[in-house]
Amino acid sequence: DGGITQSPKYLFRKEGQNVTLSCEQNLNHDAMYWYRQDPGQGLRLIYYSQIVNDFQKGDIAEGYSVSREKKESFPLTVTSAQKNPTAFYLCASSSWWGGYNEQFFGPGTRLTVL
Amino acid sequence: KNEVEQSPQNLTAQEGEFITINCSYSVGISALHWLQQHPGGGIVSLFMLSSGKKKHGRLIATINIQEKHSSLHITASHPRDSAVYICALPDNYGQNFVFGPGTRLSVLP
């Protein structure tokens, strides 16, 4: 089955620790995205990657970092510099980059920082 | 930046009712997406439409590019339709998505 996987589904971390969220896709998509969702708010773009070995900051990149060493993988690191890391994180991919392409979403990771 | 509004914010309906969710935006675009987010958090794409109307099962989406408005209709609603419905559209440059705040729908049996 083609799709996007994110792990883990729930993640708990102590304040001050870095944490990496996994995102893998087997859809052969060039573009991948990371979004953050807070209660009652729309999704906000953290980082995106148009193609392997390339990535760009989104609207709320501060305190986050990414890598895109393989086409199928786009991990997100939430660093200790992120002031309010507790949120629901969604990864997505599309055939190629652009707002006119359908995006496919993973199941999400709910991060709680204690 | 393209501003996206959705109404209503929350909607409770009885099973079988006809439901309408609205999306308005500020900057003209030529395509819009409707997404469904299940209670567990996963998101699926329902429609991408650029003009007129699209139908998939009990779901119908319409768009009026001139009016900068789109609607999502659900006919014969069912409790399994309970979810958050989100409209999304390209930003000013057609590059990334801008998402509406979502409409939370609860369909009671």
Instruction: Give residue B100's pLDDT.
Output: 93
Instruction: Give residue A39's pLDDT.
Output: 85
Residue type at A99 in one-letter notation: G
Instruction: Dump strand ranges (E) for A2-67.
Output: 4-7, 10-13, 19-25, 31-37, 44-49, 56-57, 64-66
Say whether A102 and B102 touch across the interface (CB within 8 A).
Answer: no
Where is B64: in which H helix or E strand?
strand B59-64
Q: How far is A44 from chain B (nearest CA, A)?
A: 8
Q: Alpha carbon of A56 to those of A53, B51, B60: distances in Å?
A: 11, 31, 35
Report how far residue B103's alpha carbon sits from residue B82's, in angstroms, rounded to the nearest whole number: 10
Say whether A108 and B42 touch across the interface (CB within 8 A).
Answer: yes
pLDDT at A49 over 80: yes
Instruction: Give residue B95's pLDDT.
Output: 77
**Beta carbon pairs, A and B, within 8 Å:** 62
Say whether B86 and A42 touch across the interface (CB within 8 A).
Answer: yes
The whole-number average pLDDT for the span A77-94 is 94
Residue type at A67 in one-letter notation: S
Percentage of the residues of chain A whose pLDDT score is greater than 70: 98
DSSP state of B90: E
Residue partners of B6: CB distance under 8 A and separation at least 6: B21, B22, B23, B24, B85, B86, B87, B100, B101, B102, B103
Say whether B48 and A98 touch across the interface (CB within 8 A).
Answer: no
Least confident of A38-42, A110-114, B12-16, B86-90: A38-42
Say whether A100 and B90 touch across the interface (CB within 8 A).
Answer: yes
Q: Is the preceding peptide bond at B8 cis, omega within 30 degrees of 0? A: yes
- How is residue B106 written in tokens? 């609860």
The whole-number average pLDDT for the span B17-44 is 91
Residue partners of A44: CB distance under 8 A and separation at least 6: A35, A36, A37, A58, A59, A60, B99
Q: Model confidence at B59, in pLDDT bands (50, 70, 90)?
A: very high
Instruction: Give residue A1's pLDDT.
Output: 62
Residues of chain A neighbouring B29 (CB-CB closer than 8 A): 99
Q: How far is A8 from chain B (nearest CA, A)?
A: 13
Report how far residue B106's alpha carbon sits from residue B15's, in angstroms, rounded to the nearest whole number: 10
Instruction: Give residue B31's pLDDT.
Output: 84
The whole-number average pLDDT for the span B50-73 is 94
How do residues A7-23 score in pLDDT, each as one tens digit?
999 999 998 899 999 99
pLDDT at B60 over 70: yes
| Chain Cα centroid distance, residue A19 | 12
Report how far residue A8's alpha carbon sits from residue A20's, in angstroms, rounded to the nearest whole number: 10
Mean pLDDT of chain A: 93
pLDDT at A33 over 90: yes
Report how far residue A37's alpha carbon sits from residue B41's, in angstroms, rounded to the nearest whole number: 10
Instruction: Give residue B40's pLDDT.
Output: 84
